[in-house]
Every structure is written in structure tokens, then in C-alpha cells.
Amino acid sequence: ARSIRHYRSSHLHVRLTYSDPIMPALFLAQPAIRASPKVTNDRACRSFCRYSSPATVSKAFHHTISWRNGVRSTRGTLLYPGIKRVAAREVQPGRRVASSPTALFTGIVQGLSEVKKMEKKPDDFMTLTMRFPSGAVDGVQIGASIAINGTCLTVTKQEGDECCFDLIKETLRATNLGDLDIGSVANFERSARMGDEIGGHQVSGHVDCKAVVTKVEDSENNRRLVFTVPEEWMKYILPKGFIAIDGCSLTIGEVSGNTFSVYLIPETLRVTVFGTKAEGDSVNIEVERQTQAIVNTVERYLAERNML
């Protein structure tokens, strides 16, 4: 599993790995567990955690969850059925345990943000100021990640419902953020937190390419959009597979040549930018990473054996 977080107490450092690769959890082992006659050392602790039921483990470990972006901190007893295994080791009191935070998104767009200011600077550098719905960025800290049209951006300044982001040359080249104007709207999603529903798929916020809307078909309760994508990215776009378009997790419809389609329900049109998209507009594309890894691995395997 890719989502692992490290925390420590003065006596024991616990690392938990989950079957759900998206949402990590943080536990602090209580020193009291070491006093148990059945849990007298690290090996016994590992066995206890690995073979005990999630309910037993959750009662033994009183957790502290501290969000790195400072949104919230909760205390209590956690019953989390996704526990896969637990590894434990000693940590000296006061020793700092390194962590590797990764911003992850779910592809469930939380609403629309509006461009309030675009400050262009030398060397293809721009500071973008976005206004969010009331309360949408409460608790956000400098350095936090927010996806704007599926592009993971770092908050550099926050005042009320407005946040500022720095866009460098590569971001302006690879995404459609450089095409925005004052008053334009864009999808946004804050990075995922434990407890959030994973209603889409794992999205990194790293845009692969831009696509162009080539057809818009409206019916009474549906909208079908057709996109043209650079040909080299089509091998990762498969019927009924996942794809992130402007940060929105969608199911791929038909695939033909270097085009593919998606079908949108009224709720998606209400919450996202797709309700206003027209032919000729550009969108950001992020292919599904597991699909990309599988395709690349198979291609490399066949190429090494001259089977392509």
C-alpha cells in the first residue's frame, strides 16, 4: 500500500499499512499495552496487532490524528476495518520520526472557484488569486495543496475566502490555467483527509496533457462531451476506465482513434465547469495511474523480448 504515515509515542513507533491505498491513518500506541503480560516486546506487539481483530487493535491503541495542514485534530478510539498489518519498533524519547506527506485527491470536485486576480511576472511566472465559496478554505495553511482544474497547486497566501498560488512556466504550458481570465471559474478540490468518502479514484494533481472539446451533445437530462487527445496518451484511455478531466473523476464512454467521450448527469454539470464547456475549449487530462503503470510495464516487457 502506498499510503503510510508515521507517528510515535515516547515508547513505541507504530506504522500501519492499509488495504485501501488512498487513506492513511495515524496511531499512537499507548505505553500501557507494553505492560500487558501478552505484549512484552516488539515481536509480541507485532503478533498482537497482526492476528488480533480490528476491534481488539482499536481498543488497544488510543489514537491521535493530526492533519498536516492543520485543518483538525481529533482524539478517540478508532475502529478501522481496513487494517492490513502493523509493524512496530522502538523509538528513543524525543527522537524525530520522518514522514513523507503526499497530496492526494479523489476526483470529487467540491465546487467552483473564481479567478479574482492574475499577476503576471517576468520569466513566464504568474500569481493566481482565486475566490472560493464561503467556508471552503477555512483552516487552510500556507503550503497546503488545492487542485484547481485538476492541477495540484500550493497555497502561498490566504485571506478570507481567497487563496494565492504561484504558477511557473511549465504549469502554464502543460495546463489550461494560463487560459483563464478574470472572472473565469475553475473546479477545485482540497487534498483528501481521513474520513472523506472516496467517491472517485486516486488523483495526483499532475496533469499529463491538455485535450480539446470537439463535440457537445445535450439531451433533456444528459450531456455527452467528446474530447480529442494527443495520440500518445490514448493507450491509457480505455472504455469504462477512470480518467480525471479538469480534476473531475469520470468514467470513459466510447473510445475511437484519438477521441473519447464521457456522459454527464445534471449534478455534475451543476457542480463543475462542464456545464459551461463549449466546442474548442481545452481541459486538463490526468490518466489513471494504475492503468498507465500496467500499460508501460507490458510494453517494456514485450520490447525487451522483441515481441512488439
Helix (H, G, I), strand (E, B) or coil at 294: helix
pLDDT value at 61 more than 70: no
- How far apart, in Å, are the Cα atoms of 158 and each of 34, 115, 145, 154? 44, 14, 12, 11
What is the chain's length?
308
Confidence at residue 198, expressed as pLDDT on a 0 to 100 scale: 78
> pLDDT tens-digit profile of 143-152?
999 999 999 9
How far is the CA of 131 from the CAs of 115, 135, 136, 165, 252, in angstroms?
6, 11, 10, 11, 31
CA torsion through residues 129, 133, 134, 139, sign:
negative
Residue 207: all three cell numbers together: 496533469
Tens of pLDDT, residues 239-255: 999 999 999 999 999 99
Contact 102, 45 (CB under 8 A): no
**Mean pLDDT within 59-85:** 36
Predicted TM-score (pTM) of the model is 0.67
Choice between 259 and 22, residue whose per-residue pLDDT is larger: 259
